Chains A and B, each alone.
Chain A
Amino acid sequence: DQQVKQNSPSLSVQEGRISILNCDYTNSMFDYFLWYKKYPAEGPTFLISISSIKDKNEDGRFTVFLNKSAKHLSLHIVPSQPGDSAVYFCAAAEYGNKLVFGAGTILRVKS
């Protein structure tokens, strides 16, 4: 039973344009959501998080949006840069901080 789903295995975007990565979840008890970026042969790197009491959190070029009624969150990267090319994982947690990860989306930013 996949509680966190990233339905797009890959995404290709032109440099300078917006990248939008999507994530859906099924567990209504999740109250904390995170995005991680992963380069080959490295561990996931924490990008940005959002609590369920908010619907938006912004950090530089990265913005996460949370739609609790739709059980959907998205990560916007503006403007996209070639160095953003990586695998992006969505993760969710309920009390106790146990993270449940999606399968990841490969982002390719073309220059």
Chain B
Amino acid sequence: EAGVAQSPRYKIIEKRQSVAFWCNPISGHATLYWYQQILGQGPKLLIQFQNNGVVDDSQLPKDRFSAERLKGVDSTLKIQPAKLEDSAVYLCASSLDQDRGHQPQHFGDGTRLSIL
């Protein structure tokens, strides 16, 4: 079974520039998550999709972050404009349909973003 695919692996941009990350979840996984992991901390949920609908985006800084999952499969996360504090690893995860009850989430290797 192929795991969660993310690209790019690394990205370096200057503050105020924009950046986009891509995620392809495990085949058949209805629920997709984007997390931000700052150095020395655990991952923090940014947004959760169920198929192509948003379930939870309460911790997404909507003035600069946006995410979509148009066809209910792969997803993109965008930051525009980037700030220095956005330097982090952005992790994508997926799980089977959350409506079936608790399911473990499976993570990709993440995109390490550095803001100069």
Contacts and interface: CB of A to CB of B under 8 A. Distances in A.
Interface stretch (B63-71, B76-84, B97-105): B97-105
A51 interface: yes
B104 A34 contact: yes
A32 B42 contact: no
Interface string B19-57: 000000000000101000000111111001000000110
A93 B43 contact: no
Contacts of A31: 102
Contacts of A101: 42-44
B104 A103 contact: no
Contact of A97 (B41, B44, B103, B110): B103
Interface residues of B, number: 25
Nearest to B96: A97
Nearest to A101: B42
Size bracket, chain A contacts: 20 to 34
A42 to B, nearest CB: 5
Nearest to A104: B42
B40 A43 contact: no
B42 A103 contact: yes
B94 to A, nearest CB: 11
Given A98-B56, A101-B42, 19 more contacts: A31-B102, A36-B107, A43-B4, A43-B107, A43-B108, A45-B107, A46-B105, A46-B106, A89-B43, A91-B42, A93-B102, A96-B55, A96-B56, A96-B98, A97-B95, A97-B98, A102-B42, A103-B40, A103-B41
Interface of A: 4, 31-32, 34, 36, 41-46, 49, 51, 89, 91, 93, 96-104
24 contacts: A36-B107, A41-B109, A43-B93, A44-B43, A44-B91, A44-B107, A46-B104, A46-B106, A51-B102, A89-B42, A93-B102, A96-B55, A96-B56, A97-B102, A97-B105, A99-B43, A100-B45, A101-B42, A101-B43, A101-B44, A102-B42, A103-B41, A103-B42, A104-B41
Interface of B: 4, 31, 33, 40-45, 48, 55-56, 91, 93, 95, 98, 102-110
